[in-house]
Amino acid sequence: NANKDGGPKSKLAEIKLSYDKDGWTRTIRATDMKFQWTRFDTDGNVDTRNRFDTERSAYVRKLDWEADDDRMRKGRVSLVTPDKGVVDSKIKSANGTDLVTFQDIATAQNKNYEDKIQWFQDTCAQLCVEWNEGHMRMNVRRDYLLSDSMEAVMSLSRKDLRKVWRFEFIGEAGIDAGGLAREWFELVTEEVFDPDMGLWQTSATNQMCMQINPASEISCPDDHLIYFRFIGRVMGKAMFDRQLVKGHMVKHMYKHILGWPIMFNDLKDIDEEYYNSLKGLKDLGADLEYVGIDFTATEETLGVKQTVELIPNGADVDVTQENLPEYIEACLKYRMLGRYEAQVNELLLGFFDVIPEPLLTIFDFQELELLMCGLPSIEMEDWKKHTEYSGEYDRDGPNHDVCVWFWEVVSEYDQELKARLLQFVTGTSGVPAKGFGSLQGNDGNVRKFTVHGVTLETCVYPRSHTCFNRIDLPLYEEKEELEEKLKIAITMASTGFDIE
């Protein structure tokens, strides 16, 4: 009997993956041993609210597999309430035996970042097809890199994707001992993420972050979805082969890959103005009916405006005080997935052609970005030189005691913590090619990294405003307190935990 002490079912209670996302926790479902998201209310009971709430409600993407074809699986992505977003908790090896169990995942998830990566890479190595069982030669022409690569990668079966790939640039001498592979991943992902290609566009909030172009079909009318499937496979293969991707995505894309809860405040990172306007509707009360909005959104492509219905017959439904929560919910779902649902669908299908989804449950979205894009090389002098000071630090700037402590503390950080501080303040670990002097804000103007002084009455912990690349740093009285509070703020950011 599995229920005896020490049996699998009694261990379930212990398996709560340690990250806690806005109160959501991943737990094991006893009925089928799958991971699911659960939220507990303040009394410790499972929270079962139904109506959309901007502070509490969340959605996770769910991928329903429709046909299990060895070469091209079909599936459909949707946003569901977190309790329905389940993930397998074990992985089988090629011969059908259990390679990873839920206990392994729970143990790995509690490791530090470097040990997690090691565990992830060791597991991928066990999933890799043996060299003598077959390996793939990728012959591509440099002048037709993208089209050749896409044709090659899209012709492969899922098993081929886990074989060793060897690259050859046709007409060039060069044995691929790893250097050509690194170059191929770099060139292909750089080209795919180039906004001129039309598949991705820079995010409104940060020029280092790419978001899917909702109008990608216009740029690549014949094959834009095949490209997204290709991108997904290349990203997955890069992770599988310990290679890097030349392109940082907006935060919610990493959450979609991980199947993490998306909440109303995630909108703020893509479009703060839109987020604030939706929030403002709540303050209108009964006057909302005079604003004259319905359940539609407007898309503008190449100067042509198009109305999109957010619910069936949305143009005929006026937004009122009564149905406002449903309207905000519909807007959130549209902006987070609906606008580019077909593209996200293909990208995820491609990604999971290579990486088994349960393996990703050990990472948070910041760790996933660092793993896919690599730790940035951060030049401390350049960072300090291009930092501005405001608020309480306006007058003394870098000479203010607290700012001196801040830089002393940050200089002591390892690469990972420096990268997490960047993620916390600017929304991405990416540093512009020309350095910190060319950091842009959401209006396209240069918005330098800013340390803004606030009193301890305003907030106890540092806060960030990613659209302004600004950190609010309280006037601490001692360096030790700054060190402790800053580290908590940076490391808690990925759990979505609001410290105030």
C-alpha 395/C-alpha 402 separation (Å) is 13
Q: Is 321 exposed, middle or buried (0-12, 13-18, 19+ CB in 10 A)?
A: middle
The amino acid occupying position 427 is G
| Residue closest to 227 by CA, chosen among 408, 349, 59 | 349
Tell me the CA distances in angstroms from 430 to 196, 250, 265, 437, one per residue in order: 20, 11, 22, 13
Those residues whose C-beta lies under 8 Å from the C-beta of residue 246, and which sit 6 or more positions away, are 185, 186, 189, 190, 193, 373
C-alpha 208/C-alpha 330 separation (Å) is 28
Catalytic residue among 331, 373, 403, 467: 467
467 is catalytic: yes
Rounded to the nearest 5 degrees, what angle is found at the Cα of 471, between the Cα atoms of 465 and 476? 140
Those residues whose C-beta lies under 8 Å from the C-beta of residue 118, and which sit 6 or more positions away, are none
Q: In angstroms, how far is the first alpha carbon of the chain from the final one?
A: 46
Name the packing angle between helices 479-492 and 415-426 (round to 10°).
70
C-alpha 200/C-alpha 294 separation (Å) is 29
Those residues whose C-beta lies under 8 Å from the C-beta of residue 442, and which sit 6 or more positions away, are 203, 204, 205, 206, 272, 467
> So which residues are the catalytic ones?
467
